[in-house]
Chain A
């Protein structure tokens, strides 16, 4: 088994920047990524796509080529289409590639696994035709596939970005159904200083909104009572806005109310997580350079708390410098010299977050769904069932999982975990931290038994066949 100085999981902005920085200082790096080409979700397939539709996707996207160019150098082994399913002691990493199991080992591991869409359980959200806004963006970026009759639902800058891109591509969305209110914007006012420090983000937001308005895309704000209707697929969306009940016929619904850290790998390793009230999600507890409570495990990028692609890139470099120092490739002085300006730049990148998090809060009726709404897509468990498990003494999600199978399916709780914690916390009158989260174990992603068996030691006897 090949051993590296540093293994990086995820070739998005944090992972690519970290790989490049670490290799610059002489570390042997393995960069494991699920996709066929580097970029992560934000720069998905950028090398192939930038020339095809860079005009639609904009310069923030095509800028990703700067990072993909940085990883094609000596010292970086970029393993594409590698689905990591276990990280164990001594940092032996098991992954699937081309349907076969493989392993590498590393002295240190940087988790750069990015973000997931915040689960948005609304009535009808499991119907075909309902997707995340991120999925809509990935369709456009990677495949040049656009929804003809789409409604965008939720809140946050990503909704405006995808709407603006759809406008540029000549297929504007039918409407924006936004859940944030004027009161949210007023509350966000107290973070205006930070927002002004991050003025370039605010300016982009204003420009995107102008593009959407020019294209006469209707915007409904403060939307409530959102339901997606359809027989066997999405056919329309119903909601109330401005005191009026509305229905818009559509083929596609893109949902979004923020993204949350993808914490699966970190949790499987015992990394401590805490509830972030500002971002309404669990985030790993990190020191200034991405270090966790588990020695040798680092986290950078949105997986460590949502701050966007630019911040992820900087955080990746900061973590790589820390690893280079720990591995004896950099003196503390040299590391400080390089890291100090990066830390300042990171603070600048994060400046606009409090404003955005307050102005575009998660959709309340998706955070606490009605009893009949399915919250676990895999096992089809409703919010009401989870509330009833609290009445059977479930203090946390693991007992609820045992009772109702929520989180037992192939997505392993990625799209129900936060909802289950929220529902139990609400019903039991406890905090999300007291309530806790699913125990995450390998396989982080499903793996065939055949692949597992091919990795077996033929001489090992795992079971004594006894049941006492």
Chain B
């Protein structure tokens, strides 16, 4: 056999899992796409985020918390191995509100979730004045914020680069420029690529983002995945303006202010639009008025990889045992969990996390 595990998809999700398997001594071959592939790993917002996740499914909130809790350790290990820092800051994050009503309603939801999580959901509600002490540049239209202490943000591109470097250092074979056309299991797995490459593997992990929607059904998965566009803006490099991240804006470690993101159901269209950019700019200025004079240097559209309920899917194929679907929207937040915990689930060890709620069984009844 060519490899213990073939991993289809060399983004943050695929590489995180590859990294974890390599650390356990497995042989891994990663099949990655080309320079123009849709890559959420290159277009995401870089949050390591807990709040607002799993409002209807506490297990998802817990899974996010578990990943966030070990993220710093994971980043340090990657940094030590590659000699390249993976910037991470976990000193809390905001949900900013422009109306008392939405703030109150959200706090109620958080309280309910907190009860289900045995009280482990540390957040504070800040009124405008309290927020202003933390964020001197906050605008008058922001009535308050929820400060969740388990939130933070990372440099997702440095994470991607460190993973790409470290899986190679640990001996992974990474085949780039590949489009997987078929996966079959005559005996062991056989993977066929558009350029004629074939690969044999004992096990296969499908972590191809939106590509899983086409390949999944061939491997016995439902893979009900759809793209959702998020337009994102980034400004010129600025002096410190924003201390903690929010879904509206964060200041990245290089100095630029990243502003996000639209939620658009437009299929496989990753363009940016003037109305999208203008709307995001207006919201960011409402939050931080000083941004009005900042230059927008770049913008991009990226496609979220969404399941119907927004939760990850972790599923072993019943048609093709040994084939696993691993897909999620929050590949950055969950990178640490995917690297450290998911291998136990893939290998079926006694330490395997309980991921039953993330199986495809949940899509049967709807």
Contacts and interface: CB of A to CB of B under 8 A. Distances in A.
Given a CB threshold of 8 Å, the question of whether A touches B is answered with yes
Interface of A: 86, 88, 92, 94, 103, 392-399, 402-403, 405, 408-410, 412, 435-436, 439, 441-443, 446-450, 452-458, 460-468
A392 B174 CA distance: 9
20 contacts: A92-B274, A393-B32, A402-B41, A402-B161, A403-B161, A405-B157, A405-B254, A436-B35, A448-B296, A449-B281, A449-B294, A452-B278, A453-B292, A454-B278, A456-B275, A462-B280, A463-B261, A463-B279, A465-B247, A467-B247
Across the A-B interface, give the 4 residue pairs with the lowest CB-CB distance, nearest first.
A396-B35, A468-B310, A462-B279, A450-B292
A32 to B, nearest CB: 16
Contacts of A436: 35-36
A466 B263 contact: yes
A396 B36 contact: yes
Nearest to A438: B35
Contacts of B284: 449, 453
Q: Is the interface of A mostly helix, strand, loop or mixed?
A: loop
Contacts of A94: 274
A467 B36 contact: no
A446 B295 contact: yes
B148 to A, nearest CB: 12
B104 interface: no
Contact of A463 (B263, B275, B292): B263
A3 B330 CA distance: 43
B234 to A, nearest CB: 8
Contacts of B260: 463
A408 B298 contact: yes
B47 A448 contact: no
Given A399-B42, A448-B296, A463-B263, A453 B278 contact: yes
Interface of B: 10, 32, 34-36, 39, 41-42, 47, 49, 52-53, 95, 157, 160-161, 164-165, 168, 174, 176-177, 231, 233, 235-236, 247, 254, 259-263, 271-285, 291-301, 304, 306, 310-311, 329-330
Contacts of B35: 394-399, 435-436
A456 B282 contact: yes
A457 B275 contact: yes
Contacts of A458: 282
Contact of A403 (B32, B160, B280, B311): B160
Contacts, number: 158
B177 A449 contact: no
A433 to B, nearest CB: 12
A91 B280 CA distance: 22
Nearest to A457: B275
Contacts of B294: 448-449
B21 to A, nearest CB: 18
A460 B275 contact: yes
Contacts of A466: 52, 263, 310
A84 to B, nearest CB: 12
B279 A457 contact: yes
Contacts of A396: 34-36
A397 B247 CA distance: 29
Nearest to A401: B42
A450 B262 contact: no
Given A450-B285, A468-B306, A410 B274 contact: no
A466 B283 CA distance: 14
Of A392, A408, A412, A463, chain B has the most CB atoms within 10 Å of the CB of A463
A398 B176 CA distance: 14
A441 B291 contact: no
A453 B261 contact: no
